Chains A and B, each alone.
Chain A
Amino acid sequence: MPIPVLRRLLCAGALLLPAAACWGETWPERDWASRPVAPSAALSEFETYAFPARDDGTRQGIRSDAVVVIRDGELIYERYAGPTKASTPHLTWSMSKSLLATTLGVAYGEGRFKLDEPVAQYYPAFQGHPSVKLGHLLNWASGLAWQEDYEYAPLRSSVVAMLYTRGRGDMARFVAEHPLDAVPGTRFRYSSGDSNVLAAALKQMVGVQAYADYPWQAVFQPLGITSAVWERDASGTFVGSSYAYMTARDLARVGLLMQRGGRWGQQQLLPKAWVEFNLTPFANYQADPAKPGEAVPGGHWWLNRHLAKADKPWADAPESTFAALGHWGQGLYVLPEQKLVVVRYADDRDKTYQHNEFLKRALAAFAAPEVQP
């Protein structure tokens, strides 16, 4: 008897299989189902790029800490380097922003806010900026005069001041004190400040009591994520811009959720409209011709989309690729057509690492032959 028929009979009959299996899909339970890829030339080329000899003294070059690859819900590859292990809750840096978006997505599904509502409705410190809407923050288009540069302009960097000095006690309030220098919703300017205002707005959306547990209750527990840490500022607001941690295997669960359109098992955890918003390029985004590899901003996720005046940023990856990206080389790449999720944790201190080269080799090594682009 063919397997699908057998499966359908078992599902219809005595519920002998878990619900997920009835859909013909593999989902992680306590851990991932594992089906390691066989060694190949493409795999060695991938490893040559991702895991060159590592020097913690000079900190030069590509320094992957972890790579985990999921294909169609099964773990097909993982490797760790440096001090990072399978059990290490690694810093996600700015991938936290996309985790915040996922958390907000659940709140959105619960009807707790709408994208076109003013931020000030949920975060009173924003009363001085009544025209900034929640959707603007999610597109990093608040219009606030913000300087994101870290290491190259530490003196005037808004993000360094927010995380370490003048803003650290109450990061969202520090952001709110910035003036506007563009009309909200018209200009993309990547800002960790915008993300932390969203993290503060979530407090009023779900209530102060529920807030501290909300990311766990809304996202981590339903996905079976057990390693998450999310640091807060002194006012109790999650540092939504920068300070979420989890193991590479756990982060891959968020990737699978997004790969499957916001659905986890039979539950539509994120509304389809929310995922669609995440994956829609910000309408007023203008690609910088001087930076051709820069990913396209969506709703707190990064997209490999071709635009009217610019080619897709990662030429060798399919246009449907999207990612959560963070400082020092962090990446959670989702390739829905190839059913691939790739987590990369790293400690890249220079600009050697290239998303496109990594993805090109990952596709050659991990995509099933029939769906190689």
Chain B
Amino acid sequence: MIRRHPLRLALALIAVVLATLAWHNRAHLQAFPDIIGAYSAKEYCSCRYVMDNPAPYCAGYVKQWLPLTRFLDDSTNKRVTAEGLGRSHSARWLDVRQGCQLE
């Protein structure tokens, strides 16, 4: 059987290697989708409300190769929400000394 289906064996081996890698990196993989939303919310908040840069500049400043699926800059409450890879995160400006923090 092995001789007749070398491709199938190769695919099975690859699947086992990937599964092992995924298991080994499970903590990293689980957190990975959170990076884009959290990074964008936090760094936009600081760019806009700590450094006081214009909103369009800050949008470019946090732009990554992965697109955001949702973005909200609530300027009244100085609260920024960003969603990417299915995970949403918010950062809020606290005060003049503490700047922004992820919620």
Contacts and interface: CB of A to CB of B under 8 A. Distances in A.
A229 B51 CA distance: 10
Contacts of A168: 38, 102
Interface residues on B, range: 20 to 34
A27 to B, nearest CB: 25
Contact of A154 (B32, B53, B60): B32
Contact of B99 (A59, A154, A160, A243): A243
Contacts of A216: 97
Contacts of A228: 97
A83 B57 CA distance: 8
B60 A56 contact: yes
Contacts, number: 78
Given A82-B57, A91-B46, A231 B25 contact: no
B68 to A, nearest CB: 14
A235 B30 CA distance: 23
Interface of A: 56-57, 59, 82-84, 88-91, 154-156, 160-161, 163-166, 168, 216, 228-234, 243, 245, 347
B51 A155 contact: no
B61 A347 contact: yes
Contacts of A230: 97-99
Nearest to B49: A229
B53 to A, nearest CB: 4
B6 interface: no
Given A89-B51, A228-B97, A231-B46, A165 B57 contact: no
Contacts of B57: 56, 82-83
Contacts of B50: 89, 91, 229, 231, 245
B32 A164 contact: no
B101 A231 contact: yes
A88 B98 CA distance: 16
A229 B101 contact: no
Given A165-B31, A165-B34, A231 B99 contact: yes
B79 interface: no
A232 B100 CA distance: 8
